[in-house]
Amino acid sequence: MESLKAKIDTSRLPRHIAIIMDGNGRWAKEKGHDRLYGHFHGVESVRDIVEGCAELGVGYLTLYAFSTENWDRPEDEVTGLMELLVDTIKKEVETLNKNNIRLHVIGDINMLPPYAQQELQEALEATNHNTGLNLIMALSYSSRWELVEAIKNIANDVKMGSLEPLSINQETVQNYLSTSNFPDPELMIRTSGEYRISNFLLYQLAYAELYFTNVRWPDFRKENLYEAILDFQARERRFGKTSEQLNPHITEED
Ligand code: IPE
Ligand code: IPE
Ligand code: MG
């Protein structure tokens, strides 16, 4: 049987894949463990998917690791998760460099404990010369937080006289988002059978193809990623146009 990977058309890869890594807690509970056990195993999936994207030649991978709303979880889960995140990022720097992967972070980083901010900063600097896959970790991120920040900064620049209200266009807005250096995601994957966006990249996902799978994040592996990419490649992205406009050789009667 031909492998899924071999079926992927590498000339039509999604330039940017964004993933809501969901289902760690349920995965652990189903196995009779506590939620942190699930997060711990979720790291294995992160490694596999990052490697998979780098091997294929995907340009950008955004992983939703911790939302602004996740701060409201029980304190031991929040603390455990923070430690795991920071520990993992620190440990992975060497592998990131070996694979030419550049780390980026989006989110309200000031909410993180100081030691975590420090570790993150070091990892960002240690990988900032890499030119392969851009790995964007959404940490303490929410889209509404990001939009409020953008609006505050726009308002401030208008007040200071460096921005003319009438000149504001979509490009201006894009430039004020924390994703200003990245193209919009073309494929958004959510694991664990939930069909919602949960405050993730609301502006940037405007034309993304959405892919939902019941697989819980700790079980998600390269093969699952390939399936999602193949599904993406089978879709027609019309951006408001008609199918005939996109395929001029096909007549209305076809
Ligand atoms: C995703 O798994 C990881 C984070 C949100 C940090 P969850 O912890 O949300 O797991 P479920 O959805 O409760 O199973
Ligand atoms: C979304 O998952 C956030 C992350 C994966 C980091 P949640 O598990 O927090 O989302 P809801 O609460 O089910 O919408
Ligand atoms: Mg969840």
Taking only the tens place, the pLDDT of each residue in 83-121 is: 999 999 999 999 999 999 999 999 999 999 999 999 999
**pLDDT tens-place string over residues 25-76:** 999 999 999 999 999 999 999 999 999 999 999 999 999 999 999 999 999 9
At residue 128, what is the residue type?
N
Instruction: Return the DSSP state at 164.
Output: -
The confidence score (pLDDT) of residue 249 equals 85
Q: Which residue has the tokens 């940037």?
A: 204
Q: Which residues, 6+ apart, have CB-to-CB distance to 170 below 8 Å? A: none
The tokens for 197 are 């966006």
Instruction: Return the DSSP state at 231.
Output: H
- Taking the centre of ligand 1 as the mean of its atom positions, its distance from the CA of residue 131, in whole angstroms, is 31
Contact present, 107 and 141 (Cβ < 8 Å): yes
Q: What is the pTM of this model?
A: 0.97
- Taking the centre of ligand 1 as the mean of its atom positions, its distance from the CA of residue 138, in whole angstroms, is 14
Ligand 1 pocket: which residues have CB below 6 Å?
Answer: 21-26, 66, 70, 81, 192, 217
Contact present, 116 and 85 (Cβ < 8 Å): yes
22 is catalytic: yes
For residue 139 and ligand 2, the question of a CB distance below 6 A is answered with: no
* CATH class, range 11-142+185-234: alpha beta
